[in-house]
Structure formats: C-alpha cells, structure tokens
Structure 1
Amino acid sequence: MWTLSTSTGSGYHHGDLRAALLDSALALLNTAGPGELSLRAVARHAGVSPNAPYRHYRDKEALLAALATRGFTELGERLAAVAPGKEPGAEVIAMACAAVDYALDHPGVYRLMFGQACSSHPDTIAASDAAIAIVAEHIAAVAEPERREPLRIGIWALVHGLSTLLLDERLGTPTRAEADALVDTVVRTMLGAGPERPDGGSAAR
C-alpha cells in the first residue's frame, strides 16, 4: 500500500526512487500547487540529479498523473475498508465519510485527482474507475437495480461537492467530527434514511 507523505524530506538516499520522487512532488504540491511544480524542483527536493526524474516520468504531466493515480488508489483502499453496517445504507454513509476524510487529509492531491490536467491519463482513469466500482458495489447492497446508477452518480457528486466546499471553507471551518456529522446527515437525507417526519413516518424514499 502506498503512503502519501507530507514530510519536506532531507534528500533521497536509498530505496525506491519512483516513490521518493512522488513524495517530494506531493510535498511541493501541498505548499505551492501544481502550477509551480516542475521535475527540476522535485529532483532538488528529493536530493537527486536534475535528470533523475526522467527515468520514471517523461514530463511534468506524467508526474502529476502518477500522483493522481496514487490518490485514487488510496481512496479506493479506504472505500474498500468500509465495514458492513447494521442498518440499511450504513455502508454508503461510512463510505461517503471515508471519501470526504480522504479529501481533508490530502487536499492537494484531491484537487489534482479531479483536475483537468489528469482527467485523460489512462492510469488515472483506471484508478478512478476502480474507486467508483467500489462505490457501486456498496450501493448495490442497499438499492434496487433501477436506482443504483442514478444513486451512484448522486452519491459521487454529493461527496465531491461536500469535499470541495469543505476544502474551500465555504461551509465554515468545522472540526473533523463536525464535518463527518454533516456528511452523515446529508447522505442519510439523500438515501431517504434521514430524521423521521413529525407525523412519525420516515423520510420519503
């Protein structure tokens, strides 16, 4: 399993050069954004020669795509780790919270994952599709066949929208617990498993 590091690093000494370059690219991405990222800057941060990154990445776009691919892979691992719930829709709610938590944990990579620069790279598309497939699998356990695709799209859009609003602080600056509670409430409402109506009935499905 990959681990996204946020350390500034003290140079590359041994081991996996590809991973060291990605870690350095991530550190620079979080501090300066993708616009300021370059292979030369990544090499300098990793403590290797200016030509070293070209052994693995032909250009900056390939490096960014590798970061986005790794992000989708790790997001998929978080989604796959969601445990079965005891109530209908619990897995979907937990999955949504896991996805938003990932965005809040890795804001630079998350923005890159959904940015235009990496949207057409085959590896990134494959990793994104794999993560979406996990979402679809969770939804299939709680929804009738005819509702699964629109619900998958709705949940995916909802999670991405909430993540973006939280990252941009358009919803204030909630604590992580408050953010999780917000995601829980919003997804429950979308699933029709929200608070009971005053007349004692449940929310419409």
Structure 2
Amino acid sequence: MSEGGVRERIVTAALGLLVEGGPDAVSTRAVSAAAGVQAPTIYRLFGDKQGLLDVVASEGFRRYLADKASREPTDDPVQDLRDGWDAHIEMGLAQPALYRLMYERAVDGGSTSPAAAAAVDVLAGHVARVARAGRLRVPVERAVGLVHAAGRGTVLTLVDAPADRREPLLSATARDAVIAAITTDAPPAERPGPVPAALALAEAVPDLEVLSDAERLLLGEWLARIASGD
C-alpha cells in the first residue's frame, strides 16, 4: 500500500475511535491496532499524537464541507441559511467529540486553520446569497460572525448538558433570533430598503466591469457607509 493509503487508513482509524469512544480512546496503541500498522509509522507520518489529531480535525472539516456541498441550494437563501444552521447543530450533537476537536484546533498559533477557514467561507457564501436577494440588514462580515459564533455556542451548550436535560427548543430559538437579527422579513419580490439594497449591490461590485478599479473601490466605500448607517 502507498504511503498515502497508509496515512488515510490511520486517519480513518483515529477518526472512528474518536467518534465512538471520545478523545481518551485515541491512543497511539489503539490507533495502530485499528489501522493495522506499527506505532513508529504513526510517528513518522504525523510526528506525534497531536499531529495526528490535527489531521483528524481537518478531515472532520473536509467531510462536513463535503456534506454541505452535496445540498442543492433552493430559491430561498434565508431558508437555506436556516437549514445550514440545523445541519451544523445536528452534526455537533451526533459527533460531539469530533466537533470539539475540530473547533478547539480551528485556531493554531493565532491564525485560523485552512480547514476551519474553508468552513467559514461556505457560511459566507450562504450569507452573500441572502445579501444579493436584498434580504440582509447588516454587513456580510457581521452576519457571518454572528451566525458562526451563535452556532458554535449553541452546539457546545447542548453537548455540555446531559442528554436528558437539554432544552429541546434552544437551537430553534437561537436560530430564529439570529436570522431575525440579520435578515429582513420582506420577500425578494418586494422593493428592499436602502440598507438591504446597498448590501445587495455591494456583493455585485467586484463584477461591475463597466467601472474602473478606482470607481469600484469608491462605490464599495459608499455602499459600506449606507449599510452601516454612518
């Protein structure tokens, strides 16, 4: 088997042990036995257990993003944002040990890991669709930060509580509060107010080839001022 195949087998074994038994189950001995390799192979390919866990976290994000990519968008970007929230919560509750590992290692040395950054980019894409539809009431970056922070907080709050004591409506209540804070109630067919209109146009500025770079920059600054209310 190629080195790449051995590496993949080790990561898959470690991921399975983590999901089934939690972080304490992911020992070098257990991983080597599950993967059918010698412990020195793990050290050679990953450096140490922490290096292996870093790769497992990245694999968790890869699978999470693959699942998101398989979901076809609908004509309602706000509903898609709701559905994305629900899928995020569902993943965290189904695999709490993996979820903790993914987000504990999302920031390494003060910078966001590429895998975690890719997940935020997917969320930003969903929020940008809401903006282009004229349904966003706050700047895209602020909306992304709010959804991201609230979603993580909701998952961790739920997994920290005993299963029989979890508030069943916590996720839906948090989701609806966040969605209400960042989106408008007006359907896309209605004329949006100045802030949603500015946010929608801001998303299209990079594609306005009829304008020069300087004109696009200036227009972007004007639209940002309208959106922020300054």
Q: Normalising by the residue count of structure 1, what TM-score does the alignment of the two structures yield?
A: 0.71
Match of 2:175 in 1: 187
What per-residue deviation string (whole Å, max 9, x for no partner) do you get for residues 155-202 of structure 1?
01111111112212268556xxx96x753443222222799xxxxxxx
Match of 1:159 in 2: 151
Give the number of the structure whose residues are more often helix, by fraction. Answer: 2
Gaps of 5+ in 2: 186-195, 197-230
What residue identity is the alignment partner of 2:30? Answer: A
Q: Equivalent of 1:147, from 139, 142, 161?
A: 139
What per-residue deviation string (whole Å, max 9, x for no partner) do you get for residues 33-58 of structure 1?
43563323311232322222234211
What per-residue deviation string (whole Å, max 9, x for no partner) do you get for residues 120-165 of structure 1?
179x811111110010010011134852111101101111111112
Match of 1:34 in 2: 23
Q: Distance in 2 between matches of 1:121 and 1:70?
A: 19
Identity %: 29
User: Is 2:95 aligned against 1:106?
Assistant: yes
Match of 1:72 in 2: 61
Q: Deviation of residue 17 (structure 1)?
A: 1.9
User: Is 2:78 aligned against 1:89?
Assistant: yes
Gaps of 5+ in 1: 1-14, 196-204
Aligned partners of 1:79 and 1:131 also within 8 Å = no
RMSD across aligned C-alpha pairs, in angstroms?
3.4
Between Structure 1 and Structure 2, whose CA radius of gyration is higher? 2
User: Is 2:107 aligned against 1:115?
Assistant: no
**Number of residue pairs the alignment of both structures matches:** 178
CA 1:68 to 1:88, structure 2 compared with 1: closer, same or farther past 3 Å?
Answer: closer
Aligned partners of 1:88 and 1:142 also within 8 Å = yes
Aligned partners of 2:154 and 2:174 also within 8 Å = no
Aligned partners of 1:166 and 1:173 also within 8 Å = no
Aligned partners of 1:78 and 1:98 also within 8 Å = no
Match of 1:3 in 2: none
